[in-house]
Amino acid sequence: MGCISWVHQLKKVKEFMNIKKEIEAFRNDMTKWRRDIHQHPELGFVEHRTSKIVAEKLEEFGLEVNTGLAKTGVVGTIRNGEGPSIGLRADLDALPLSELNEFEYKSVNEGRMHACGHDGHTTMLLGAAKYLAGTKQFKGTVHCIFQPAEEGGGGGDVMVKEGLFEQFPVDAVYGMHNMPGAPVGTIAGWAGPILASADSFELVVQGKGGHAAMPDHAIDPVVIGAQIVNSFQIIASRQTAPLDSVVVSTTRFNAGEAFNVIPDSVTIGGSVRTFKSEIREATERSLQKIAEGICMANGATCSFKYHKGYPATVNHSEQARLAMQAAGKVVGEENLIREPNPLMASEDFSYMLLAKPGCFVFIGNGTGEKGGCMVHNPHYDFNDEILPIGASYSASLVEQELAI
C-alpha cells in the first residue's frame, strides 16, 4: 500500500481531542505495555507470552477472563446488569520479519516483528478494558476479544468456529486497524466493503516436452501458459462490470531450465482480490474456464486449484453509522473520513462480520517520520500517541451503545 488518497480529503486535523481523562491518566502505562509487547513479538497461534500478559492484565482490571479459544485467544468480559452485549476485538500476532529499527524496545526475537501494529491494537483494547471495568458507565455486557493469528492463520475464523459467539454472545462486534499515512486524530469508516477478499490460485499446464528446434514434435506449455496469463486480464477488463472491483495478479510462472529444451509442464500461480462474493465466485469460475479452455485448444491438459483465503471485510450499515458517531465524539466530526475508499488488502475480522453485525475502522497512525512508515515494513512502528485515541473510541462506543 502506498499513498493513501483519502488523507487528502481531510481538513487540518484538530489539535484538541476528546480523550477520556481516565484513559489519558494511564497513557504512560499503555505506552509501556505496548513497547513490552513490541519487544517480544510472537507468531500466530503461539502468542503464549502475549496472551498470558493480556489475561493477567484483564484479571488485574477485574474482568472475567477466558483463555484457550483458538489456542492463544483471550476473552475478557465486563458485566454490568441487563442490557445489550458488545464485542471489541484486537489481534495479538506479529510477522515473520526481522526488525530494522534501533530503538531500545526493538524485537528481541530474531525474525519476528510487530510490523503491523497488532501490539498497539492489543494495548488500545487493554486500555479500553481497564477504563470500562473501572468506571462501568454502561448497562449490559462487554466482551474484549483478543484473537491470535490474524496474519494468514485465520485466528478470527478459528475463534468463530470454536464457538466464540455462542460462548460470548454479542449484538454487534467492532474492530480497528492503524493506518500509516493518515494523520493522528483521524478515523475512517463507512458502510459496505472496507477491505478485500484474498484468494490464491495455482494451475499446472501439462504439455509435452521436446527439442527447442523442433516445436512441432512438442506441446509447448510456455506458449500456452503465456496465453493463459494474458487472457486472465480479460476477467477484470471485459467480464466484470466497470464499477465492480477485481484484481487478478499472476505472480508465479515456473517453467524449464535449459535454453534448448521445451519443458514438459508449467506451473502458474497468483492472487485474486474482490469486494463482492458474487464477483469472487465468478472470477474463480472464469480463471478455471480460461485455463482449461486454452489448454484444450492447444492439446495440453490443465489441473486447476483455487484456494479461498479471507473473505472481504464488509461493514454493516447501521453499525458503521454508530461506530462513526462514537469516533466523532473522540476526534471531532471534521476528522472523520466517511467517504468509502476501501483497500485491496485483507483482514480476518471479516469472519466475525459474517457471523455478527459490526464495523471495522482505520485509525490514523500519523504521517512522515511519526507513524507514516507503512505496515509490514522492517522500519514500521506503531505510534504510541494514538493509544489513548483508540482506547477512547472503543470506550465511547460502549458507553453510546450500552447507554445507561
Residue nearest to Ni ion (CB): 116
Least distance CB 80 / Ni ion (angstroms): 31
Q: Kindly state the smallest distance separating residue 177's Cβ from Ni ion, in Å.
A: 6
Minimal distance in Å, beta carbon 91 to Ni ion?
A: 6
Sign of the Cα torsion 342, 348, 349, 354 reads positive
**Cα 314 to Cα 231: distance, rounded to the nearest angstrom:** 29
* Stretch binding Ni ion (CB under 5 A), from 21-29, 61-69, 111-119, 123-131: 111-119
**Smallest separation (angstroms) from Ni ion to the CB of 310:** 11
Of the listed pieces 64-72, 113-121, 180-188, 230-238, which binds Ni ion according to CB under 5 A?
113-121
338 contacts: CB under 8 Å, gap ≥ 6: 188, 189, 190, 324
CB 317 within 8 A of CB 190: no
Closest distance to Ni ion from the beta carbon of 370 (Å): 19
Residues 299-328 interacting with Ni ion (rule: CB under 5 A): none
> Considering only 56-64, 92-100, 115-123, 126-134, which stretch makes contact with Ni ion by CB under 5 A?
115-123
**330 lies in the binding site for Ni ion (CB under 5 A):** no
Cell of 214: 523442433
CB of 32 to Ni ion, least distance (A): 22
Shortest gap between Cβ of 269 and Ni ion (angstroms)? 24
Does 116 bind Ni ion (CB under 5 A)? Our answer is yes
Cα first-last separation, the chain = 42
Closest contact distance (angstroms) between CB of 156 and Ni ion is 11
Contact region with Ni ion (CB under 5 A), list: 58-66, 112-120, 139-147, 330-338? 112-120
The nearest distance, CB 150 to Ni ion, in angstroms, is 6
Please calculate the CA angle 21-25-26 and round it to the nearest 5 degrees.
130
By the rule CB under 5 A, 343 interacts with Ni ion: no
CA distance 188 to 204: 42
CA dist 187 and 369 (Å) reads 20
Q: How far is the CB of 347 from Ni ion (least distance, A)?
A: 7
For the segment 37-66, give every residue that binds Ni ion (CB under 5 A): none
Nearer to Ni ion, 116 or 327 (CB): 116
Of 164 and 375, CB closest to Ni ion: 375
DSSP code at position 26: T
Return the number of the residue (116 or 326) whose C-beta is nearest Ni ion: 116
Q: Which of residues 2 and 242 has its CB atom nearest to Ni ion in the complex?
A: 2
Looking up cell 506441446 gives 219
Binding segment toward Ni ion, per CB under 5 A, in 52-60, 108-116, 202-210, 322-330: 108-116
According to DSSP H, which parts of 70-147 are helical? 118-135
Pick 294 or 359: Cβ nearer Ni ion: 359
Query: Given the complex with Ni ion, which of 70 and 116 has the nearer CB atom?
Result: 116
Which C-beta is closer to Ni ion: that of 1 or that of 296? 1
User: Measured from the CB of residue 200, what is the shortest distance to Ni ion in angstroms?
Assistant: 19
For 51, list phi and psi in degrees, rounded to 5.
-60, -40
Spatial distance between the Cα atoms of 240 and 250, rounded to a whole number of angstroms: 18
Planar angle of CA 361, 366, 368, nearest 5 degrees? 140
Per-residue b/e over 120-129, b at no fewer than 16 CB within 10 Å? bbbbbbbbbb
- Local structure of residue 269 (DSSP, 8 states): E
Q: How many helices (H) and strands (E) does the chain have?
A: 11, 16
DSSP structural state of residue 237: I
Smaller CB separation from Ni ion, 154 or 332 = 154
Query: Closest CB to Ni ion among 116 and 337?
Result: 116
Burial code of 225-263, b = ≥16 C-beta within 10 A, e = fewer?
A: bbbbbebbeebbeeebeeeebbebebeeeebeeeeeebb
Could you tell me which stretch among 39-47, 116-124, 161-169, 332-340 binds Ni ion (CB under 5 A)? 116-124
Between 332 and 366, name the residue whose CB sits nearer to Ni ion.
366
Closest CB to Ni ion among residues 26, 174: 174
**Cell representation of residue 329:** 465524539
Counting residues that bind Ni ion (by CB under 5 A) gives 1
Q: Which CA distances in Å does 400 have to 18, 127, 138, 163, 404? A: 14, 18, 8, 27, 9
Sites of contact with Ni ion (CB under 5 A): 116
